[in-house]
Each structure stands twice: as structure tokens, then as C-alpha cells.
Amino acid sequence: MGLIQNVLAVIVVLGLLITFHEFGHFWVARRCGVKVLRFSVGFGKPLWSRHDRHGTEFVVAAIPLGGYVKMLDEREGSVDPDERDQAFNNKTVWQRIAVVSAGPLANFLLAIVAYWALFVAGTTAVAPVIGSVAEDSPASRGGLEAGQEITAVRGDSVRTWDEINLKLIAAIGASGELEVQARDEATADPRTYRLPVQDWLVRQDPPRPLPSLGLTPWQPDIPAVLGQVIEGEAAAEAGLQVGDEVVAVNGEPVTDWMAFVDRVRASPGEPLDLEVRRDGERRSIILTPGSTELEEGVTIGYIGAGVEPVEWPDEYRREIRYGPVAAVGQSLSRTGEMTVLTLGAIRKMVVGLISPSNLSGPITIARIAGESARSGLESFVSFLAYLSISLGVLNLLPIPVLDGGHLLYYLVEVVRGRPVSDQAQAVGLRIGLALVGTLMLMALYFDLMRLW
């Protein structure tokens, strides 16, 4: 069932992103008087197609990993003399720039709309209150203490752990001090703390900002009560059911959910004698965890079960909601922040501050899309917005075969007053195909390594 959900989620995500991207090209091309021959979502054999009154063929194809808008162009075939004024290559350089840039801009617009909808609908987040501080860690040496609420990172205010993680990720490669503001109580004024760091998160795969600082978020006591049991996994095979409370493992009392998780993770393939409370009665169940391997090569136990959610105290909850007008500014700000973060990550990957193994391909996208869909509409829309921004940024990179490569040619044409030669474009095309092909193979390789 999880695999099916992942596949359906990635089809929905990629379908939306590709459709918006190609519609951007299509819409502006029509406004510039360019004849569009085909609008295709996906590659390969058409599953569905129809023609409109302008002669454009709309296609949904079998492979949902891309799409394209095919326009009338004398460089790609013969053009009827009566239609030459509708050919893309005969439009002004500024019209061609508008058509090519419209696709990535449509992706940014989609992200803005998605964030706007989230801000208007409102979200409930967990306050960033510190649960514990590891000894001899940057947080400890900087003076942070358990029970404090973090209010700002590097001068920017934060309200949730997600916002804190984004600010910390953006600081990858920093050396010196990370400035953090925190307060002891909700009514207290925040104080500034300076956390010493050196080559912050450089080549850490994957980056783990909070553990690297020595911070653990506060959370309420979570009883070891099962809220989810996945069919076909170890927990279901042993006979565990939703609502079971694990009170002991091998005769040792279980204090909370994390204590149970720690025992399971430490026991791959080893039978565990569980004492379980079900409907007020205690019973013994033998559970043998399966095993899974982390990216660091460490093997841990896995049973395919989740915890029953608990209610967070009101003082640890933050309601984030804006009116329709105020949400516009917030969505623009969030889109800009995520765009800068993506560009920074690309730059740091090129210079070696971030490991290339953080590249993600279709398998990882499918997994995260499925997980975000199962986590709720808010998570799914947030993931959709971030992926749309990433698609827009990547397409604007000055690499031939991408939109950014075409824009580079047209900007050179603006400066020189004449188009880039066909020979130069052919060489650039081969270089661009090699670069994009290499990146795709690397992303697929790292996907498979994560899967295994």
C-alpha cells in the first residue's frame, strides 16, 4: 500500500509541476503570436490527446517525468510561407526571452499560491522549546539551556523548528559563531547566545543541524502505545494491534515510546519478549524486529509500527495564520527565502561544502511525496511548493538544453546584436546533455544507495 501511495503521490506532484511549467511557456507563446503545435505532459506513447481550434495537440503521455511545448520553428522543419510570422525563430529576441522564461516563472508562481493558501488556512506548529542540551556541544558552550524557547537565528525571527532548521541549513560552511536568541519564559525578553562552530555541517551527509548543535526539541511524555501497525511487517506478524501498550521488554519496564524504539533499533533479528497491555489485560508477545540499514552503514531493528499521537499542551503550540492580504507578503517572502536557500545549496555543492550524495532523483522524490501525503495536506502542499521552486531554479541554470541555457544565448544575442551561431549552439547542446545526463545518473545512483 505504501508503494502505491508513493507512486500516486509522485504522479500528482510531477503532473502538477510539469503542467504549470509547460503552461507558462504555452500561455506566453500564444500571447506573443507563436503557433504551438503540441502541449505534452509526459514523454513517450500518448495515452490521451485532442486538438483545439488553433490546431494545438494536447497530449498526456505514458512517462510522467517531464513534458514539452513544441512550437512552430523553421529550424526544426519546413514552415508554410503563410505561417512564418508565427514561427518561434522569427519572433523578436525579447519575445523569445519571455516565452522561455515563462516556464520557470510559472513554477515560482505556483509556489507563491501554495504558500499563500497555507498561510490563509493557518497551521498549528510546535514551539521551538529546547528539551535537552548535550554536554560539551556548541549549544552548551554558547550557554543555551533546556526549557528555553528559541526566538531568532542569525538575526531572523523564528517560530517553529522547521524555520530554525532552514536558517541553520543556510549557514552551512560557517566558521566562528552562530548567533541565536532565546528566552526562558514566554513573557521574558530574549537574550543573545553565540554558539561556536567550525566548518558548520561541511560534507555532513545528510546535514543534521540540531544534533550537530547538541539540541533536542522538547516533547511531552509519549506512552508506548501503538497507533499504527503496517501489514506484512514484523509488528503485524507478531500479532501486535493498534491500541496495544508495551509495558516491558525482556522483563525490563518500558518508560515511554522512545525507550521502546531504542530497544527495537538495538535488536535487529533478535526475538524480544514483550509484555503488552490490551483492553486492560496483560499478555506476552514474541516480537522479532526486521532490519534496515541507515545511510551511515549502521543496521538497526525495524518493526513497521507507529506511535499513537498525543496532545501537546497549549503553551507549546503556535497558531500561524494571516489574512488574505498579509499572506501575499508572507508567501512572497517564503518563496524568496526558499529560492535563495536552493541557490546557496547548489553553490555549496559545487565548491564541496555539501556532499553530492544529497542529490535526489525520482525514487527519493516519490518516497518523500508519499510520506508528505500521508502526513496530511499541509505537508504535501509544502513539499509541492518547495519542489516547484527547485524545478524553477534548476531550469534557470545557464546550462544548454535547459531554459536557462536558451536565455543565456538570447542575452548574448541582445549584447552582440546577432544570434549565437548554430555551430556554437550545437557544441553547447552536447555539453549541456552531458552535464544533465551526468547529474541524472548521479541522482539515480544516490537514490538506489538510499533504497538499499
What the block records as the C-alpha cell of 191 is 537574550
The span from the CA of 218 to the CA of 159, in Å, is 14
Alpha-carbon dihedral sign for residues 321, 324, 325, 327: positive
Catalytic pick among 22, 149, 163, 275: 22
Residue 273 backbone dihedrals phi, psi, to 5 degrees: -90, 105
Neighbours of 286 (CB within 10 A): 10
Rounded-to-integer distance, Cα 173 and Cα 348, Å: 8
Distance from C-alpha of 388 to C-alpha of 208, rounded to nearest angstrom: 24
Cell of 286: 514474541
Q: Which three cell numbers stand for residue 92?
A: 523578436
Say which residue the cell 521574558 belongs to: 188
Task: Write phi, then psi, for 173 (nearest 5 degrees).
Answer: 95, -5
Residue 178 pLDDT:
92
Give alpha helix (H) positions in 53-200.
Answer: 93-121, 138-142, 161-169
Q: How far, in Å, CA of 448 to CA of 446, rounded?
A: 5
**Joined grid coordinates for residue 140:** 552548551
Round to whole Å and give the CA distance between 294 and 316.
31
Assign 381 to helix, strand or coil: helix
Torsion of CA 131, 132, 138, 140, to 10 degrees: 120
At 284, is the secondary structure helix, strand, or coil?
strand
How far is Cα 424 from Cα 232, in angstroms, rounded to an integer? 57
The SS3 assignment for 244 reads coil
DSSP secondary structure letter of residue 187 = T
Neighbours of 158 (CB within 10 A): 21
Beta carbons of 264 and 302 less than 8 angstroms apart? yes
Residues in the chain: 452
Query: Cis peptide before 196, with omega less than 30 degrees from 0?
Result: no
3-state secondary structure at position 383? helix
| CA contacts within 13 A on the Cβ side of 433 | 6
Tens place of pLDDT for every residue, the chain, 452 residues?
456 767 777 788 888 899 999 999 999 999 999 999 999 998 888 899 999 998 999 999 988 778 899 999 988 888 888 889 999 999 999 999 999 999 999 999 999 999 999 999 988 888 899 999 999 999 999 999 999 999 999 999 998 888 898 898 888 888 899 999 999 877 778 999 999 999 888 877 778 889 999 999 998 888 999 998 988 889 999 999 999 999 999 999 998 898 999 999 999 999 999 999 998 899 999 999 988 776 556 788 889 898 888 888 888 888 889 999 999 999 999 999 999 988 988 888 888 777 777 777 777 777 777 777 666 788 888 889 999 999 999 999 999 889 999 999 999 999 998 988 888 888 988 998 898 888 888 877 777 776 66
Name 271's Cβ contacts closer than 8 Å, sequence gap at least 6.
286, 287, 288
3-state helix, strand, coil in the chain (%, to 5): 45, 25, 30
Element (H, E) at 348: helix 324-351
| Residues linked to residue 272 through DSSP beta bridges, in sequence order | 287
The SS3 call for residue 67 is strand
pLDDT at 58: 95
Q: CA 377 to CA 379: how far, in whole Å? A: 6
- pLDDT for residue 125: 85
User: For residue 407, which of 95, 31, 35 has the smallest C-alpha distance?
Assistant: 95
Question: In the numeric block, which cell numbers belong to residue 368?
Answer: 518523500
Question: Which pairing describes strands 57-71 and 176-183: parallel, antiparallel, or unpaired?
Answer: unpaired
DSSP state string for 280-313: TEEEEEEE--EEEE-TTS-EEEE--EEEPP-PPP
The identity of residue 426, as a single letter, is A
Strand-pairing partners, residue 172, are: none
Q: At CA 56, angle to CA 50 and CA 59, rounded to 5? A: 45
Q: What pLDDT does 335 receive?
A: 95
Q: How far apart are CA 200 and CA 174, in angstroms?
A: 5
Catalytic annotation on 319?
A: no
Distance between CA atoms of residues 15 and 67, nearest Å = 9
For each of the domains in the chain, give its residue range(s) and CATH number, in order of start: 92-122+323-452 (no CATH), 124-220+311-320 (2.30.42.10), 226-308 (2.30.42.10)
Q: Determine which helix (DSSP H) or strand (DSSP E) holds 178, and give its type and residue range.
A: strand 176-183
